[in-house]
Amino acid sequence: MKKRFVIWTAGIYILYVLVMGAYLFWWADFGVPEAYEGTGADPATFMTDRQLELSQDYSRYQSMLYFLGLPLEWIIYLGVLVFGVSRLFRDFGERVSRFTFINIPIYVLLLSTLTWVLTFPLDYARRTLSVNYGIGTQSFTGWMRDQLISFWIGTLIMAMLITVLYVLIRRFQKRWWLYAWMLMIPFMIFMMYIQPVVIDPLYNDFSRLSNPQLEEKILAMAEQADIPAERVYEVNMSEKTNAMNAYVNGIGSNLRIVLWDTTLNKLDESEVLFIMAHEIGHYVKNHLLWMLAGSIAVTFGGLYVGYRIFHVVINRWGNTWKVKGVTDVASLPALLLIFSLLSFIANPVELAVSRNAEKSADEYAIEMTQDREAAVGSFQQLTVTALSDVNPPALVKYLRYGHPTMMERITMLESYQQ
């Protein structure tokens, strides 16, 4: 079985890579349709020839790395099961301690470490690509620091969730998915609440906006939208990237309005105000709460479907993998594989919903600012600094884009009647 797994996996993956490479580098069209040539959405009107060439190359390579990594975790989870690594991790944890709250976190740590090591080359390739094209500015030391922070935060959270999950599986084999979902609701709300004040500061330094006049104008916009904010935060991102961003996140007393310093440095005041109006639009239209509600609903469906498939898979192949049953933590890679595949299937729908929300926020922002020139200019500058593709291939758009394409966004703004 091991030899067959290696041969089939390698063959299918190589064929997949060749097809995706052909799609991105030969079949897919780049640039805008003829009807959009000469408009504000045409990158030829606001980018140099060199920038156009770099943006197309960067978009292709970036998408190729995404597609290369897409099935990688699935292969790792299957390989861990087929080669008996999962059983070895389980046995090691049980030798260390017979207590569930110790041996399961040990198993999670071992599996997370293996996955991190095997996916590291692709992560490093993404970082190298970004630096080589002038997007990333972070030193290797700083990048590794962020990678390790993410690893330990992710592993600690995962260890806690998986431990609780397997306690539920062992006690309620037919209803564990429902109880897990019920516990996930307060957990997701809690994570949304602490994200701005506990997790985000681990990666970046936040301070009060350095321009008091601009802060006053942004807070006036926030007050107009009934956002309970007393200050605007500036985050030092220029040491990591040349790209720009701004956001409103958190809930309750931890809600924060945040601007990247790159956004402040590269846009003029009217363009910054449009970007902030867009982020305020998300709050006004309750997109954060709808996102939370959607996550809760998707989690319910995912846990139920995952539960049904999980039991079938373990009953069918558990003995082959030396997995004792669904209550055995060695079955975790199968469960993670199922959830990852379900997430992939749901992803295009989630991205479509996100694109609709972003379009709604764009409409709110232009209605609030009434400044079409600043709006178009801000999106054009965002495109230039990130070397974005204004009109990506369809497959890239539907599998990767949570925002409308820049062509769609700029066209909407140009057609807006002031």
Rounded-to-integer distance, Cα 256 and Cα 253, Å: 9
Task: Report the pLDDT value the prediction gives residue 353, as an integer from 0 to 100.
Answer: 95
pLDDT in tens, 315-324: 999 999 999 9
Instruction: Please enumerate in sequence order all residues whose Cβ is within 8 A of that of 194, keeping only pairs 6 or more positions apart, or say none.
Output: 254
CA angle 291, 297, 303 (to 5 degrees): 125
Rounded-to-integer distance, Cα 243 and Cα 381, Å: 10
- Looking at the predicted structure, is the pLDDT value of residue 151 above 90? yes
Q: Of the listed 215, 234, 279, 408, which one is catalytic? A: 279
Beta bridge partners of 129: none
User: Quick one: DSSP state of residue 9?
Assistant: H
Ordered DSSP codes for 366-397: HHHH--HHHHHHHHHHHHHHHT--SS--HHHH
pLDDT in tens, 201-231: 999 999 999 899 999 999 999 888 888 878 8
The answer to whether 409 and 278 are in contact (CB under 8 A) is no
pLDDT in tens, 27-45: 988 788 988 999 999 999 9
Mean pLDDT, residues 64-93 taken together? 96
Residue 324 in 3-state DSSP? coil
Number of Cβ within a 10 Å radius of residue 102: 14
- Integer Rg of the chain from CA: 24
pLDDT in tens, 371-413: 999 999 999 999 999 999 999 999 999 999 999 999 999 999 9
Instruction: Please enumerate in sequence order all residues whose Cβ is within 8 A of that of 248, keeping only pairs 6 or more positions apart, or say none.
Output: 227, 255, 256, 257, 258, 279, 280, 282, 283, 288
Token pair listed for 328 = 């055995």
Q: Which residue has the higher pLDDT, 1 or 191?
A: 191
Q: Which residues in 214-241 are b (16+ Cβ under 10 Å) and which e? A: bbebbbebbeebebebeebbbbebbebb
Token pair listed for 249 = 């996140």
Side-chain-side CA neighbours of residue 214 (13 Å):
25
Token pair listed for 385 = 């600094």
Task: Report the pLDDT value the prediction gives residue 378, as an integer from 0 to 100.
Answer: 96
Hey, CA dihedral for 403, 248, 245, 194, is it positive or negative?
negative
Task: Report the pLDDT value the prediction gives residue 250, as an integer from 0 to 100.
Answer: 83
Domains of the chain, residue spans? 2-202+287-414
CA angle 192, 197, 198 (to 5 degrees): 85
Query: 254 falls in which pLDDT band (50, 70, 90)?
Result: confident
Based on DSSP, count helices (H) and strands (E) in the chain, helices before strands.
Answer: 15, 4
Token pair listed for 65 = 């790395």
Secondary-structure breakdown of the chain: helix, strand, coil percentages, each rounded to the nearest 5: 75, 5, 20
**pTM score of the predicted model:** 0.92
* Strands, sheet with 246-249, edge to edge from the N-terminal-most edge strand: 206-208, 232-235, 256-260, 246-249
Nearest to 366 by CA among 279, 270, 274, 245: 274
pLDDT in tens, 341-368: 999 999 999 999 999 999 999 999 999 9
Mean pLDDT, residues 145-160 taken together? 97
pLDDT in tens, 258-294: 999 999 999 999 999 999 999 999 989 989 889 999 9
- Is 279 tagged catalytic? yes
Instruction: Please enumerate in sequence order all residues whose Cβ is within 8 A of that of 54, keeping only pairs 6 or more positions apart, or say none.
Output: 133, 134, 387
CA angle 207, 281, 299 (to 5 degrees): 90
Task: Report the pLDDT value the prediction gives residue 26, as an integer from 0 to 100.
Answer: 93
Average predicted confidence (pLDDT) for the chain: 94
Mean pLDDT, residues 307-327 taken together? 95
Q: Which residue has the higher pLDDT, 157 or 224?
A: 157
Mean pLDDT, residues 139-161 taken together? 97
Task: Report the pLDDT value the prediction gives residue 3, as an integer from 0 to 100.
Answer: 86
Query: 418 falls in which pLDDT band (50, 70, 90)?
Result: low
The answer to whether 73 and 118 are in contact (CB under 8 A) is no
Rounded-to-integer distance, Cα 325 and Cα 311, Å: 9
The owner of tokens 């099935």 is 71
